[in-house]
Amino acid sequence: MNAQNPTLALPGQPHVAYVNDQLMVESVRLSDLAREHGTPLFVYSKAAMLSALAAYQRGFVGRNAQICYAMKANSTLAVLQVFAEAGCGFDTVSGGELARVLAAGADPAKVIFSGVGKTRAEMKQALQVGIGCFNVESEAELDVLSDVAVGMGLKAPVSLRVNPNVDAKTHPYISTGLKGNKFGIAHEDALRSYRHAASLPGLQVVGIDCHIGSQITEATPYLDAMDRVLDLVADIEAAGIPIEHIDFGGGLGINYNGDTPPEADALWAQLLAKLDARGYGQRKIMIEPGRSLVGNAGVCLTEVLYLKPGEQKNFCIVDAAMNDLPRPAMYQAFHQIVPVQPRLANVGAADRVYDIVGPVCESGDWIGRDRALQVQAGDTLAVLSAGAYCMSMASNYNTRGRAAEILVDGHHAHLIRQRESAFDTFALEQLV
C-alpha cells in the first residue's frame, strides 16, 4: 500500500481490497459503513456472490444442470434473492428455510429438501408448495413420507442420499460421507432402499444424491464419491428403477488461510470428464454448494474496545463475539483479521501479538489467536471470509442482539437486516 500501488487485493477475496489504504468492498469504504451502521456489521459483495456462481455456471455450459444454493450457509432474504434472480434453485433443511426461501422469491420446483429429521408437518408443507425433490436419508423416512403423500393424494418426488463412505479429509464436525456419520443410507443398503422406495404408493423415485463434507480442498474425494455413486446408479437402473438426476452435494472449500481448493469450473471439468467416460454425461446433474458461493463474499466489521496486555497473552477485546462468529469456537476455524484503516503513522513500528476475543463470558469466545496487529481502542477490524456459516449460525447468547447486514452492489450499500435490539431478543417471552 503506497502511492505507487494504491490498490491491494486480499488473497481469495477479489471484491475486498485496500484502495488508498482504505479497506473497500466493491466501491464502498468499510470505515464509512462502520460509522453509519455501527458494529458488529456484516458486509457482503453482490459481485463476489455472482462471480462465485458464474464459476459453477461456466463449468456446466452445455449440460443439463441445476445449482441449488445450500441456503444454510447464509439464509438472509436479500442473499437468497440474489441467487433466486440468478436462476438458482435451493437446498433447504427445514420448514423454516423453505418458508424463508419462498419469501425471497424462489421457484418451489427448484427447491430440494435435505436433512435426517424431517417432520410430518415439514413434509406436508413441502408437498403443498410443490417442491422439486425430497433428499431422503433413511428407510424409516421413506415410509413416513409415503404415508404423508398418500394422505394428501400426492406422490412425493424422492432421491435417496447415499453415504459413499469416502473421506473428505476435512474437520470431523463437517465431514459427512463416512460410515460413522449420521447422514445418508449406507452404500451397501442403497439398492434395497431403492427397491423399497419404488414399492411405496406415495413416492416417485427421481434421483440419487450424496454429500461428503464441507470445506473440501481436493478433487480426489469428489472423484471417488462419483465413482461410488455411479456404480449404484448402474445397479439401481438394472433393477428397473430409472434415475433422472444425480445430485453430487456441495462441500467445495474456500481460501481462509492459504487454502488452495480447486476453482468450481476446474473441479467440474474433471468430474464431467469422469461422467462422460462412464456414459452419464447427458444425465441431469444437481449440486448443492453453500460456502463456496458466499464465504469469501462477506466480512464482519468489529470495533476494538480494549487492549489488555498480559504476562502470557495480550488480548484485543472487540465488540463481535462467538454469538456473531461461532466458527472459531466450534471448529477452531481460522479467519483472517485485518484493520479497516491501517495505522500509517506507525508503519515500521513492531506489531504486537494478540488473541482477539469478544465480550461473551466464555474462554471459548475467541475470534483469532496469536495475531500480529497494530491496533488501538476505537479501531475497526475486518474479519474476513465471514459470508458463510456466520450470520446463519449467530445466536443471542448473553442477550446480544444479532448484527446488522449490508449488501454492497457497486457504489450502493443496502441495509438488508437491521441490528437486533435487546428488546427484540426477548419480545416473544412472557412473565408468569
Nearer to ligand LLP, 249 or 298 (CB): 249
Nearer to ligand LLP, 18 or 183 (CB): 183
Residues 126, 129: Cα–Cα separation, whole Å: 5
Cα Dmax for the chain: 74
Please report the sign of the dihedral spanned by the C-alpha atoms of residue 284, residue 197, residue 177, residue 71: positive
Residues 30, 45: Cα–Cα separation, whole Å: 12
Nearer to ligand LLP, 76 or 215 (CB): 215
Cβ contact 297:42 at 8 Å: no
Provide, rounded to whole angstroms, the least separation between the CB of residue 28 and ligand LLP.
26
Provide, rounded to whole angstroms, the least separation between the CB of residue 88 and ligand LLP.
13
Query: CA nearest 155: which of 94, 206, 231, 222?
Result: 206
Nearer to ligand LLP, 34 or 160 (CB): 160
For residue 264, what are the contacts with CB-CB under 8 A and spacing of at least 6? 52, 55, 56, 59, 252, 289, 292
Cell numbers for 281: 454425461
Cell numbers for 163: 453415504
Residues 83, 215: Cα–Cα separation, whole Å: 21
Nearer to ligand LLP, 73 or 413 (CB): 73
Provide, rounded to whole angstroms, the least separation between the CB of residue 12 and ligand LLP.
16
Nearer to ligand LLP, 46 or 72 (CB): 72
Query: CA nearest 89: which of 100, 76, 101?
Result: 101
Residues 80, 74: Cα–Cα separation, whole Å: 8
Provide, rounded to whole angstroms, the least separation between the CB of residue 69 and ligand LLP.
9
Alpha helices in 279-341 (DSSP H): 291-294, 327-331
Provide, rounded to whole angstroms, the least separation between the CB of residue 431 and ligand LLP.
35
Residues lying near ligand LLP in the complex (CB under 6 A): 70, 73, 91, 114, 174, 176, 211, 214-215, 249-252, 288-292, 327, 331, 389
Nearer to ligand LLP, 12 or 250 (CB): 250
Catalytic residue among 68, 300, 361, 390: 361
Query: CA nearest 100: which of 141, 57, 69, 67?
Result: 69
Residues 232, 207: Cα–Cα separation, whole Å: 12
Nearer to ligand LLP, 60 or 315 (CB): 60
Cell numbers for 256: 481462509
Cβ neighbours around 144 below 10 Å, total: 16
DSSP SS3 for 164: coil
Alpha-carbon separation of residue 391 from 111, 264, 345, 367, 431 (angstroms): 22, 24, 34, 14, 29
Provide, rounded to whole angstroms, the least separation between the CB of residue 177 and ligand LLP.
10
Tell me phi and psi for residue 286, to 5 degrees. -125, 150
Provide, rounded to whole angstroms, the least separation between the CB of residue 175 and ligand LLP.
10
Please say if 361 is a catalytic residue.
yes
Provide, rounded to whole angstroms, the least separation between the CB of residue 214 and ligand LLP.
3
Cβ neighbours around 283 below 10 Å, total: 17
Q: Which residues are catalytic?
A: 361
